[in-house]
Amino acid sequence: MRESGANNVVRSEIVTRGEVDLAQKEWWRALPFIELRRDADRGAWSRVELGAEFGFKPFPNLIPPFCWFYVGHSLHQAWVSPGRDHPEWEIRTLFDFPFPLIQVGSRKASIFLLNEYTYDFRRGAGIRNEASAGLRVPLPLPRFSFLLGWKHVDPVHFRDMDQVEASLLVEF
């Protein structure tokens, strides 16, 4: 997302994220990632991130098995526009609850709540908070799911945005 004022707000984005689990245990995981955001209205890149995330389930034995709680910390380099490249730290908090009314084979749908807070090291301050909620529905193809949700984007000191999200998730 561009953060240079109301006239440069990205109204529609196409987001692609690739990540590779280098280590995934029952309560923690480590993965490098790349995230590409394209401004669909202007046909230009609005944000590119390259980094690594370390995440964990802080209370793996205290949370009931019907839901889970995950916290991820990532360090990445963000390219927003020429001259506005900066290292960032992001905290990702995720809650995921089964939604038993929808089931495909043995896989159940789930409701998710996600929050991502981004801190810019060069500015020495938080620059963005994104809150999402939605439904993840497994598809008949193994390892495929469809996500439908809403996202509230709050770039600090700039105009907020609400977005509708639709995603195809492929795990391989």
Kindly give, in sequence order, each residue whose CB lies less than 8 Å from that of residue 82, ignoring residues fewer than 6 positions away: none
Which domains, from first to last, does the chain contain?
A: 6-170 (2.40.160)
Between CA 62 and CA 158 the distance in angstroms is 39
Per residue in 53-110, pLDDT (tens digit) is 999 987 766 656 556 889 999 999 999 877 778 999 999 999 998 888 898 888 889 9
| 70 SS3 class | strand
Give the mean pLDDT of the chain. Answer: 86
Task: Measure the CA–CA gap between 54 and 34, rounded to whole angstroms.
Answer: 14
CA quadruple 70, 73, 77, 80: dihedral sign: positive
| Tens-digit pLDDT profile for residues 136-163 | 999 999 889 999 999 999 988 888 889 8
